[in-house]
Structure 1
Amino acid sequence: MTKFTASPTAAPPFHHRAFFLQSLGAIHVIAFWSYYVQFPGLLSSSGIEPVQRSFPYTVPWLYQRLIASGTIDEDALCELFALTGMGIGALIATGVCEHGLSLGIIAAIYSVLVRTGGLFYHFQWDTLLLETTAIACLTYAPWTRLRSSLDKLSSPIAPIPLRFLLFKLMYMSGVVKLQARCPTWENLTALEYHFATQCLPGPLAWYAHQLPPILLRLGVALTLWIEIPAAVLLLLPLKRIRRYSVILQVALQVMIICTGNYNFFNLLTIALCIPVWEGNTETDIPLRPALQSAILSVFTIASASSMFRIERAQQDQRWNIVLFRDSNWLQPQLLLPHIPYCTILLLGGLTVSFLRSKSVTRVLHAIVCMLVIGMMAVPFSQISPNSYSYFYSTFGSLVTNHAKPYLLVNGYGLFRRMTGVGQVPYGARPGWAGLSPSIVERPEIALEGVYISTDETTESWEELTVFRWKPGKVSDMPWQVAPHQPRLDWQMWFAALGNIDHNPWLVSFLQKLIDGCRPVLDLVGAEYPGKKLKKVRAKLYYIDFTRMNTTWARTIPGAEILSDNASVFPSIVWARKRRREYLRPVSEAELSEYLSSQGYSLFCKNTTNPCDHIKTPRFWCIAAHVIRASTVYFLFPLGVVLAFLIRLTPQRKVPLAWTTRKISKSKKD
């Protein structure tokens, strides 16, 4: 009898190095695309903060050779740089070219764009992307082949510098929160403010804000534990324990993605987990899984119990979590100095084994890895100065002179102090577990304007809805915009924390609004019904999410409680109260006079003839304008990400095999 059977062949081996490099390429496509779509209204000669103000000082060598010589103007150069970065990132993301040189080129390009981007691009995720790309270029990407899967000379220690970078990112992010002595972190109440006070909340932030305080405090405790003790596990030469830490780090990033808009930062952090997940028989200690699990259990219980305790509050008998402020885990000078030394010692031991095997390439690679880790350790002096005097004296000058100017070695630490913490009124009832009630007062700027009309006797002020993403109308639920970062909306959050005197770019933005400058209007999506603004002003409000009718919400003074809890989608999302005047009513003439004194250009490009203002040869300006006018760039990142996801799909070949079986039966006579 003949039988048809399908005999599936095994899937091809999974290449962690290729997966990481392609993920890094896809993130670069997103970063360059986000820069490109915002450039005309944000940084161009017609934008809010033109690159012409910073170009001669931040990249003087490039300015003298290309711009001052009349070869190309700043606008066209930045746009072509962004397009080039998108193109190279697409080659890396699709696996066509993963060569180290390609990573070096996009790191150099993005470094120029970030340094000339001024305050709109001085964020930790921009510097993290630069540092990650530089380390991957020097220690992880192939240099003898275009694709990492074809590279036969790869070293087993290649993932270690990237693991150290992820450790530095997480550990510093956790420690600085407690070194700042912020009461919200010390009392584990930070999440009771965070969801409403973060720069751009996500769609689920309102719902997370309604959770009971005990769950939110548990979330803060888990965050600190994952960022500090669990981060140490990322460096251990024990695969099972490292992967446990990776799962925790990824879970934390996914929760942040669900409740906030932090552009590509969380995706990049998850991508850095790939080299940590990777295992290697030459660098990992072959410890039995049962023993690794036992070590992991003891470490988890011991570290958590040394940092926190769970108790009932005497005031209301509610459960609460308390932080031990004198825990050894919160003293970086006790632990931190030993980690880089142990990592470099491990690399040194592997280098000796490479010398015995006479592998010159691996020896040189190990030396580069040790130098890179030594340079990466220098920013630890920010949180433990005395412990890192040796590293700073050895590598400090190297970092200061060669890496820091290009943002290639950096320190990290988001949310040192929680903003939007309101004043507790005298005589207010205690909150959950006897602590002060968590009053949220997020400062937010609202712009108002008066349009030119025939009736000059009265002025009718209207609130201007000129921002797509930042909180505005009280009925608008937050949007999901990540991995794109709307830099102007984000910067408005920082402006609300200060005053107009320290934010001249905001004055520039208002002048562009009154002038009706098309690139700026396109940036914010503003449309005016054929009328021109006469005056503008700004008011500062304190806002908070509305609250569901719960026992803990009713104890918060000033909280706006919703009357109907039956609806999943609230009709009113934000509660706001006016605080003060942020900017008095000003006209276009007053704005222009102030900007001229600050060295701003009042130029706005003619959209019909965008290259008329160029005195040098206009070829590159016209080329950049033609590319932008095609609007194909809107679909480009979607195509690259789709191609990247297709490559991740396991390709299994299932051939049909003919199998013949002979079945013989004995017959009885």
Structure 2
Amino acid sequence: MEATRRLTLRLYGLTALVAVASFWAQLPGLIGSGGIWPAALALDSQRAGGAAVLEVPTLAWLSSSDLMLHALCAAGCLASVLVAALVRPRLALVVLYVSWLSLIHVGGPFLAFQWDILLAESALALIPFAGPFPRPWARALVAFLAVKVTLSSGLVKLLSGDESWRDLTALTYHWWTQPLPTWSSVLLARLPLWAQQGLCGAMFMLELGAPVLALGPRRARLASAAGMIALQVGLFAAGNYSYFNVLTAALCLPLLDDRALAALRLWPVAPAQPRPPGRAVDVAGWALAAAMILWSALAFTGRLSAAPRPVLSALERLHPFLLNSGYGAFAVMTKTRPEIVLEGSRDGVEWTPYEFPWKPGALTRRPAFVAPLQPRLDWQMWFAALGDCGGNPWLVRAQQRLLEGAPEVEGLFASVPPNHPNFLRTRVFEYRFAPPGSPAWWTRTETGPYCPVVTLDPQGRLVRAQLP
């Protein structure tokens, strides 16, 4: 398992480096003191609510200054490099977990994605695996994470009751309604119905079948790893899901072994060395693995409430530490694509759009690949469009920061109005892929306003604009 361990840690470390560094680049405009959702304000609201340190475990309690936030990102990047370089990987994983968990708890809506939680949970799961010649139970802990993520992704779709998953037509919507489509999504959307249904069926086979094979003998485990990795490669090629696909693929690697890597010529394999005896450690390790599996199974099936009250109380206290989380996206397929178009004006008559770097906007701009990086404001705009203005206070605050001319927030956009606006408006359009042969990539139809037109009053407060 030594070669497998090294490959897993290298890929995980590089993935974590991309995740932390990508967020670090956007931090000033998102949660910095001049950003949309400052960490200091988030902690102030926690204090007002009487939250204790163990309820919101973050080093930002010591200081929520920009310096502290940058230090946490720097620590996470350094720890990721050390993991990838196999230098004190166990200690580095602890540092990565603590720094990333600290950021998640002050990141508000911008660090609440499933892959952000998975990055923290997997850092902990990898600690026993990171030592030389890991024990089988340590490998099982990591592989279980890959199985949990993949299997739950399939189960939530089947259990949601959405007919489009059951009749295998969901992908006919998915390609153009997913958060950040790519040019490959356009090509996939043009496939005939039978091909779309075939792809959907293959997805279910991999999401539901491949994880089960992980329980079998060696060849079954190898097939499980191959199936789950193939699924992640396919998802990566068809959409922009940040570093999620690479991270999940890295967690599948412990299902392989050094013989498999040697056969594939992927890694130089050193002769195996005997493991030191550790019966007590093995018993404790397998007990831990069994407890995590039972915890996940009860939580997924909704039967955790049947556990004894002391157990429930302990699990509730552990919840903020992200030790064992649930996963699964697109349980109910989104079948429309509302997009919020943000525009600024100096006079309330002529309006100029704010262009986002990656989310759909201009109809002639080709959808592009950005994963494994994640433009977090672009992503949040997709979620906001599915709700309403009142349910997304961060977007209201973003408008205030733009009217104030905050350079940190303006830096999150591909382009802003050339003349600083006095008014902002948000309109909703229904977007769809343009038909083949069209000079544009998108078509759109306006459906109405999102938030009221806003401006700043003489005291600098955001108010509804009174326009003719």
Q: Which has the larger radius of gyration?
A: 1
Whole-angstrom CA distance in 2 between matches of 1:499 and 1:591: 27
The equivalent of 1:249 in structure 2 is 228
The equivalent of 1:533 in structure 2 is 421
CA contact 1:140–1:158 (8 Å) conserved in 2 = yes
Write out per-residue CA displacement over residues 65-90 of structure 1, whole angstroms, 9 at most, x where no aligned residue: 98787xx5521101111011101211
Aligned residue for 1:116, secondary structure, equals coil
TM-score (norm 2): 0.88
Whole-angstrom CA distance in 2 between matches of 1:391 and 1:590: 57
Write out per-residue CA displacement over residues 403-461 of structure 1, whole angstroms, 9 at most, x where no aligned residue: x1111210111111111x2xxxxxxxxxxxxxxxxxxx311111122125xxxxxx433
The equivalent of 1:588 in structure 2 is 456
TM-score (norm 1): 0.62
1:547 deviation in Å? Answer: 2.6
Unaligned stretches of 5+ residues in structure 2: 261-273, 464-468
Give identity over the alignment, percent: 32
1:592 deviation in Å? Answer: 5.3
The correspondence for 2:65, drawn from 67, 74, 77, is 74
**Amino acid in structure 1 at the alignment position of 2:177:** T
1:399 deviation in Å? Answer: 2.9
1:60 deviation in Å? Answer: 5.2
The equivalent of 2:3 in structure 1 is 15
Distance 1:394 1:358, change over 3 A: farther
1:252 deviation in Å? Answer: 1.3
Distance 1:65 1:90, change over 3 A: closer
**Amino acid in structure 2 at the alignment position of 1:141:** A
1:26-425 superposed matches below 5 A: 26-56=14-44, 57=46, 61=53, 73-98=64-89, 100-137=90-127, 139-142=128-131, 148=132, 154-236=134-216, 238-278=217-257, 361-386=278-303, 396-402=312-318, 404-419=319-334, 421=335
Write out per-residue CA displacement over residues 525-563 of structure 1, whole angstroms, 9 at most, x where no aligned residue: 33443x220111111111111233xxxxxxxxxxxxxxx
CA contact 2:11–2:84 (8 Å) conserved in 1 = yes
CA contact 1:448–1:461 (8 Å) conserved in 2 = no
Moved more, 60-69 or 461-470: 60-69
Whole-angstrom CA distance in 2 between matches of 1:162 and 1:124: 17
CA contact 1:120–1:488 (8 Å) conserved in 2 = yes
Whole-angstrom CA distance in 2 between matches of 1:255 and 1:371: 33
1:583 deviation in Å? Answer: 2.0
Write out per-residue CA displacement over residues 497-532 of structure 1, whole angstroms, 9 at most, x where no aligned residue: 111011111111111112211111112233443x22
Aligned residue for 1:410, secondary structure, equals coil
The correspondence for 2:372, drawn from 461, 464, 483, is 483
Whole-angstrom CA distance in 1 between matches of 2:277 and 2:107: 42
Whole-angstrom CA distance in 1 between matches of 2:333 and 2:275: 54
Aligned residue for 1:161, secondary structure, equals helix
Aligned residue for 1:175, secondary structure, equals helix
Unaligned stretches of 5+ residues in structure 1: 1-12, 143-147, 282-356, 422-440, 453-458, 549-563, 565-569, 596-669
The correspondence for 1:442, drawn from 334, 337, 353, is 337
1:173 deviation in Å? Answer: 1.0
Whole-angstrom CA distance in 2 between matches of 1:590 and 1:206: 47
1:370 deviation in Å? Answer: 2.2
Distance 1:493 1:374, change over 3 A: same
Distance 1:479 1:30, change over 3 A: same
Whole-angstrom CA distance in 1 between matches of 2:218 and 2:150: 19
Whole-angstrom CA distance in 1 between matches of 2:460 and 2:219: 62
1:434-583 superposed matches below 5 A: 441-452=336-347, 459-529=348-418, 531-548=419-436, 564=437, 571-583=439-451
Aligned residue for 2:99, secondary structure, equals helix
Whole-angstrom CA distance in 2 between matches of 1:67 and 1:29: 21
1:280 deviation in Å? Answer: 8.7
1:33 deviation in Å? Answer: 0.3
Whole-angstrom CA distance in 1 between matches of 2:256 and 2:57: 45
